[in-house]
A = this chain, B = another copy of it.
Amino acid sequence: MNSIGRLFRVSIFGESHGECVGITIDGCPAGLALTVEDMLPDLERRKGGQQKGTTPRQEDDIPKIMSGVFNGITTGFPITLIFENKNTRSEDYSKQRSIPRPGHADWVAHQKFGGFEDYRGGGHFSARLTTGIVAAGAIAKKLLNAGGTSPSPLERELEGEVFNPITIQAAVTEIGGEKDTEAGLQKAIAAKDSVGGIIECRVQGLPVGLGEPYFDSLESALAHILFAIPAVRGVEFGTGFAASAMFGSEHNDAIEDMTGKTKTNHAGGIVGGISNGNELVFRLAVKPTSSTPKEQNSLNWETGQTENFSIKGRHDLCVALRAPVIVEAVTALVVADFMLLQQHIKRIL
């Protein structure tokens, strides 16, 4: 439930306003040099308050490595990372406890967990939980290029092969329907409203053959974890929804050479659920932040009446802005898992 992955497996825990958020990574091979510093650049990208349109809540977001690393190297045992919560202002939430915020999990959580859920700041549903995911993703990224592959990148280079590292890069490509994302954000600021966006992710250097029949296609595994990111409402690969309006002769990518390189890449690097060695390309739709500054209407479950109210607290105007590094992280988790399964990564590096 709160875990995912087959051989490279993460388990998430914690609440936005509790003691901490954290993650355990089980299955990371032994022998990977790992320090807190390896995770900081990605964690920095995830943080709020760094750019316009993101929450002013500031946490230092420095993980504490509780296990699984010895003398700066992974041991092969579970790596648990803890991020303490310090900068919490819970009273913002308790005041409006009986009015479920539209778009948030408040009402469904209350029904599903019988009112026992930690509602402060969204509790376990908070985007703050993605801190652990980003840290785990940074570990996975490092693992993918750690030289534990067989033959290793270095061996392959020595044999004259041009070495292709695996790179994962996600970026916001649209905000509020505008491809000029600065313009999209200004539109939201002007409207004093939150706004949605589109994120595109591209992965280069993947080997052919990642993805398992029948139910663990590469798309299935990626979509599964992508839809676990709060606010994601759509996922498409390659030409995606546009493919539905194409003819087969247009959409099919002709294979050009023995490496599997295709002339076009409408497939986005996946055919039959399996990576084909071309660039992996997918896009996500991110809905507008549910916590809009605008006045809203919702049910008060104590009175049974609807009423107008405004959301307090510190929030992102556009959650898509902070999401690219999260998208990269979950992508890295999936790729690491499949690389281990396909034996491209050794169990001891």
| A interface residue numbers (CB < 8 A to B) | 1-4, 6-7, 9, 11-15, 18-22, 24, 26-27, 30-31, 64-68, 70, 73-80, 82, 100, 102-105, 107-109, 111-114, 116-118, 123-125, 129, 174, 176-177, 188, 191, 193-198, 208-209, 212-217, 219-221, 223-228, 230, 232-258, 260, 262, 266-268, 271-276, 285-292, 294, 296-299, 301, 304, 306, 320, 341-343, 346-349
Contact = CB atoms under 8 A, between A and B. Distances in A.
Given A1-B213, A258-B304, A75 B296 contact: no
A267 B103 contact: yes
A253 B296 CA distance: 10
Contact of A113 (B7, B176, B215, B348): B348
Nearest to A193: B247
A300 to B, nearest CB: 10
A77 B299 CA distance: 25
A320 B271 contact: no
Q: Which 5 A-B pairs have the closest CB atoms?
A: A105-B272, A177-B245, A248-B292, A234-B236, A194-B248
Contact of A255 (B1, B100, B250, B268): B100
B75 A118 contact: yes
Nearest to A311: B248
In the complex, the count of this chain's copies comes to 4
By CB atoms of chain B within 10 A, which of A24, A31, A215, A253 has the most? A215
A232 to B, nearest CB: 8
A196 B213 CA distance: 23
Contact of A123 (B75, B108, B226): B75
A271 B13 contact: no
A256 to B, nearest CB: 6
A274 B115 CA distance: 15
Contact of A24 (B7, B13, B15, B19): B13
By CB atoms of chain B within 10 A, which of A114, A188, A256 has the most? A114
A70 B114 contact: no
B31 A11 contact: no
B246 A195 contact: yes
Contacts of A254: 102, 296-298, 306
B217 A228 contact: yes
Given A67-B19, A287-B251, A108 B275 contact: yes
B249 A241 contact: no
A221 to B, nearest CB: 8
